[in-house]
Amino acid sequence: MSPISFEELAVGYEFPATSYELSQPLIAQYLEAVGGQQYFLTSGVVPPLAIAAYAMTALSQSFSVPPGSIHASQEFEFLKLVPIGSTVSCGGKIVQKVQRGRLHLVVLEINALNQDEEKVLSGKATIAVPI
C-alpha cells in the first residue's frame, strides 16, 4: 500500500495495523545503536524504547512525513514485559492536527499489542511538520 500524503492525514485517520518481530538480531542492533544496555540480551526482554521506536517507524511508513519534520513531545506507557522473539502488532490514529505559525503540529496515538492481543505499550507523539 502506498503511503498517504501528509495533506490527506485528517483527525480520526487510523493507521493500518502493522506487525513486526522483535528478533534477537534486531534487538542486538538496536542496543548497539543506543550504546549499551546489553543486559536486555541476557534477560531476554525487549527494551521498551525499542518497542516504541519500531512502532513509530512502522506507523510513519504508512504516511509520507515531509522532510525536516521533528519530534516535539512524546508520552509512553509501558504495560507488559515483551520477550525477545515476540511479534508485536501496532496501530494508531491521528488525534489532532493544528497549524502553529510555520508549523503543523500532528498528534498521533500509538498502541502495541503482543501475540495474545494484550496491550504492551501505549503512547502519544507530537510531530512538528514544517509548512
Partner 1 sequence: MNQKRKLSDIHPGDSLPSVVKHITQEEINLYAEASGDFNPIHIDESFAAQTPLGGTIAHGMLILAYMSEMMTKAFGESWLSGGKLSVRFKAPARPKDTITTSGKIDSVEHKEGVPYVNCSLESRNQKGETVITGGAVVKLQPIP
**CA distance readout (Å), 121 to 18, 36, 77, 100:** 14, 22, 6, 29
Residue with cell 500509538: 110
Smallest gap, in angstroms, from Cβ of residue 25 to partner 1?
11
User: Which residues would be at the binding site for partner 1 (CB under 8 A)?
Assistant: 26, 29-30, 32-37, 39-40, 43, 45, 47-50, 52-54, 56-57, 60-61, 65, 67-81, 130
Smallest gap, in angstroms, from Cβ of residue 19 to partner 1?
14
Show the cell assigned to 53.
521506536
Smallest gap, in angstroms, from Cβ of residue 90 to partner 1?
13
**CA distance readout (Å), 13 to 7, 77, 88:** 12, 22, 21
53 vs 94 by CB, closer to partner 1: 53
